[in-house]
Structure 1
Amino acid sequence: MKNFRIAALLSLAAVLAFTSCKKDDDTTVPSANVDEIPEPGCIGVTRDDAIVLRFDYTYYQGEEPRVEIVRTRTDERVKYDTTVFFPTVEGNKVVIRIPNIRLSDDEFNYTANCVTIEERDDTRPANDRWFEQTEFKNQEEFSQTRMATQLVVDVSSSLGEDREKVRQYALDFAEQTLAGGAGFIGLTLFADTVITYPFTNQIGDISAALNSFPYPDLNAQTFTRLSDGILSGLNALENAELDVDDRVLVAFTDGNDNGSNNPTGNQQMIQASEFPRYMIGLKGKGLEYNTNYLKSLASSENFFVEAENADELQARFNDINELIANIYTVIYNRSTQTFNPDIDEPISLRAIFYATPYEIDQN
């Protein structure tokens, strides 16, 4: 599976003209731009797989550099948290960062195989107005978004002998999350007790936490503080002082919330959270399991998966890891040149994601 995010590193310089282009068709790419699309720079995709993010850049004299996503010219499958961003001046360049980009619709999530970033110049010939800056082109690469992931795991006695599998799946998930070296992971374990452990980038810390939790006896009757556990995880995300681009929560349970006080109020607070929430359910372990309730705790239906049994559960953890891996940060380096606000229009740019649908198979 792919454990990467995209950062396209380019800089203002000479012009690279594309000779093989097509026109976007609004009937096949909702609300996308209607200009030519170049051939992709990677295999396995075509121009028909293009998903386009459009944004404007300004650096007017006496002002800070600014970027704004153009909603009306951006593909509807591009999801973002906000539309305005403020680039940073670093030495002789301005670094434009647009983090937390997701590609999805009501049916699919999309995996980007590669990305191309282009600028528009209306003084160029009509069929060649979009072009890719070529200086430092060799620096274009795939890299990971800096991510903080809070993993919230049910370890109550209702899991029975499957609890050991769940602990191993949680450890495997954490190891995959940390594999690229660009993120942090926090852990919340809950049964009758809820314990949240500090964020770390060391898998040994997660292993130690999983081994140290006061697990209830498998034969004991314990209750599940599900919403308390999720709220504790969300609070950890909110309060963590981490230099990251995105923060997400992943929660697993095999049951319902039968141990938290004020569960309805907790549900409303969870649903109001700004952090993306992914839910994993394990069916067949208890009569209280409620698919609709668990789905309501996820940010969207596309962020909810469930397994029929523990043997399928590892695949569901992998599915969520795949979804999180496909959160992209667009990075574009420009020179520090400034413009005259009374004369110059914003610079038009576009990030073209060449992406294929990723559908979780739960059959």
Structure 2
Amino acid sequence: MMFSFPKLNINFIPMKIRNAFLILKTVLLSIVLISCGGGDVNPKGSTFDIYIDFWNTSGKSPEIRFDELKTSREIKIDFTKTFGGQVDGPAGTKVIIDNFRIIDEFSNNYNIEAINAYEFKKETNDWKKDVEFTMSFSQSEDISVVLVLDRSESLGTDFETVKTYAIDFIEKIFTERKVVKMGIVDFSDTVNEFPLSTDKEALKNYVKGLKQGKFTALYNAMDAGIDMLQASKSQSRVLFTFTDGSDNMAPPAVNADYLLGKIKSDKNSYKITSFCIGLNGKGGVDKAVLTKLASGGSANFPETVKELKDVFTKFGRVISNVYNLEYIRNQQIINRSDPRKLKFEIITSK
């Protein structure tokens, strides 16, 4: 589609009118580009794509790896991980992909409605829909969550409000899922722990009784939360951290890189997913560090305590809504050096 503006000699038009004309021209051009499909315009919809390399070197040892560059950025998965599978019946194999979530930049969570499978065909240089080798999905019911909660004095009188948000968060997680264990690590200058429990009321009462203290032992608290989750065998294990500041208590060896390495080197089959909230209004939050520590999850930085309520609510929905995907294929031998290129179109709703 071609579009052009009429030629107009603006040399004799007063400067203010000339500038207004140029601004109007720029706005109109932007509108035209959007309507014609020009520019980097990609309105958010309810369909997301994942791209995967698949190989099976022995016919009985299928493996999958995600292509992070091509996959929709809303997909939350460990892109560094290779997912291994197993034999499924006399002629099949299956690979289970755990801890799969879809979360956009506003912390909105998406529910999977259907998945369409495609395989890239070199012969025709295009994608062909696959009806034999498919991807199924199911929600993970067994979940362990550790709430890492800042109770430092910097929160002031807002701390009582934060406690109500944490209690609502506990209620939501236990309402959404059938099998839930939750623990709490609260911190200021000291770090205290309430171990993983199925007793919702005991957890809520523990939060109600929390008192504020000085300083911010953030890293030590997250370290304790990771230890608690590594002892759990749940299918989904989540570290959920809230703070309004930056760590000022940990020894040099306990830092963001140490914590991230500990999460990623976990030997359990189901890896820990980390989510972080940094209350940014008082200017003490290190956004880069918390974003880095949101391994497999996401970070959010509300400006006010009022905004924080909505973030707690959204994250409660996100954390409880986790999927396991299962890819079924036959036992054909496929070399790792020449993997099958797969694409899965995920149809969702909020």
Give the TM bin, normalised by the shorter chain: 0.5 to 0.7
Is the Cα–Cα contact under 8 Å of residues 59 and 338 in structure 1 kept in the other structure? no
The farther-off stretch of 110-119 and 192-201 is 110-119
SS for the counterpart of 2:131 is strand
Query: 5+ residue gaps in structure 2?
Result: 1-38, 265-271
Which of residues 149, 152, 170 is equivalent to 1:153?
A: 149
Number of the residue aligned with 1:38: none
AA of the residue aligned to 1:290? G
Specify which of 310, 318, 321 is matched with residue 315 of structure 1.
Answer: 310
SS in 1 for 2:110: strand
Q: TM-score, normalised by structure 2?
A: 0.64
Per the alignment, residue 270 of structure 1 pairs with 259
Q: Residues 333 and 197 of structure 1: is their aligned pair in 2 closer, same or farther, counting only changes over 3 Å? A: farther
Instruction: Evaluate the alpha carbon distance shift between residue 346 and residue 154 of structure 1 in structure 2; reply closer, same or farther with a 3 A threshold.
Output: closer
TM-score under structure 1 normalisation? Answer: 0.63
Task: Report the CA distance shift for 1:296/1:339 in structure 2 as closer, same or farther (over 3 A).
Answer: closer
Which of residues 194, 198, 202 is equivalent to 1:197?
194
Residue 227 of structure 2 corresponds to residue 240 of structure 1: no
Partner of 1:303: 299
Q: Matched residues in 1 for 2:278 and 2:127: separation?
A: 50
Q: Show the counterpart of 2:77.
A: 80
Contact 1:277/1:297 (<8 A) preserved: no
Correspondence list, 1:17-32, <5 A: none
Q: Over residues 206-232 of structure 1, what are the superposed CA-to-partner deviations in whole Å (9 max), with x where a residue is unaligned?
A: 22432565x35xxxx733322222222
5+ residue gaps in structure 1? 1-26, 31-43, 359-363
Identity within the alignment, %: 22
Closer, same or farther in 2 for the Cα pair 1:205/1:87, shift >3 Å?
farther
Hey, what's the Cα distance between the residues in 2 that align with 1:54 and 1:99? Answer: 15
Distance of 2:279 and 2:333 partners within structure 1: 59
CA contact 2:220–2:254 (8 Å) conserved in 1: no
User: Which structure 2 residues correspond to residues 1-363 of structure 1 after superposition, within 5 A?
Assistant: 49-56=47-54, 58=56, 60=58, 64-69=60-65, 71=67, 74-75=70-71, 77=73, 78=75, 80-81=77-78, 82-89=80-87, 94-103=93-102, 111=110, 113-118=112-117, 120=119, 129-133=128-132, 142-144=138-140, 146-178=142-174, 179-211=176-208, 215-216=211-212, 222-237=214-229, 239-245=230-236, 247-258=237-248, 260-262=249-251, 265-273=254-262, 274=264, 275-283=272-280, 289-291=283-285, 293-299=286-292, 303-309=299-305, 311-324=306-319, 327-333=322-328, 338-339=331-332, 349-354=342-347
Aligned to 2:183, the other structure's residue is in SS state: strand
CA distance in 1, matches of 2:256, 2:334: 48
Q: Secondary structure at the match of 2:302?
A: strand
**Per-residue deviation, residues 287-338 of structure 1 (Å, max 9, x unmatched):** xx413x25413337851322413x332112123334435654312345xx53
Kindly report the root-mean-square deviation, in angstroms, between the aligned alpha carbons of the 2 structures.
4.4
Residues in 1 aligned to 2:114 and 2:40: alpha-carbon distance in whole angstroms: 19
Residue number in structure 2 paired with 1:22: none
